């Protein structure tokens, strides 16, 4: 797959992660009540979110997987 697939419905857009998504990722993963239900540690710094976003972007580029972001 050369191009990242975008999935869109009337109410939802699933798209490739962008570096600008780091703040939104941090806002979610910095909450204990969210990470309690995930196999993930609670984030304590925006840099952790920036790294997670970079990892998700590179998964597709490296042909190892795909993770969608949304707006």
Asked whether the predicted pLDDT for residue 64 surpasses 80, the reply is: yes
53 contacts 21 by C-beta, under 8 angstroms: yes
Span 38-47, pLDDT tens digits: 988 999 999 9
The pTM of the full predicted model, rounded to 2 decimals, is 0.87
pLDDT of 2 reads: 84
Is 51 inside a domain boundary? yes
Span 2-29, pLDDT tens digits: 899 999 999 999 999 999 999 999 999 9
Is 71 inside a domain boundary? no
Span 46-59, pLDDT tens digits: 999 999 999 999 99
Is 30 inside a domain boundary? yes
Is 2 inside a domain boundary? no
Q: In 1-71, where do the E strands start and end?
A: 7-8, 13-16, 68-70
Instruction: Tell me how many domains the chain contains.
Output: 1
- Token readout for 59 is 């998964």
Is 38 inside a domain boundary? yes
Domain that residue 44 falls in: 16-65
Is 10 inside a domain boundary? no
pLDDT of 71 reads: 77
């Amino acid at each position: 797959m050369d191009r990242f697939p975008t999935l869109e419905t009337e109410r939802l857009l699933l798209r490739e992660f962008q570096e600008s998504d780091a703040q939104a990722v941090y806002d979610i993963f910095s909450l204990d009540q969210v990470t309690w239900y995930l196999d993930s540690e609670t984030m304590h710094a925006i840099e952790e979110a920036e790294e997670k976003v970079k990892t998700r972007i590179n998964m597709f580029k490296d042909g190892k997987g795909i993770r969608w972001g949304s707006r």
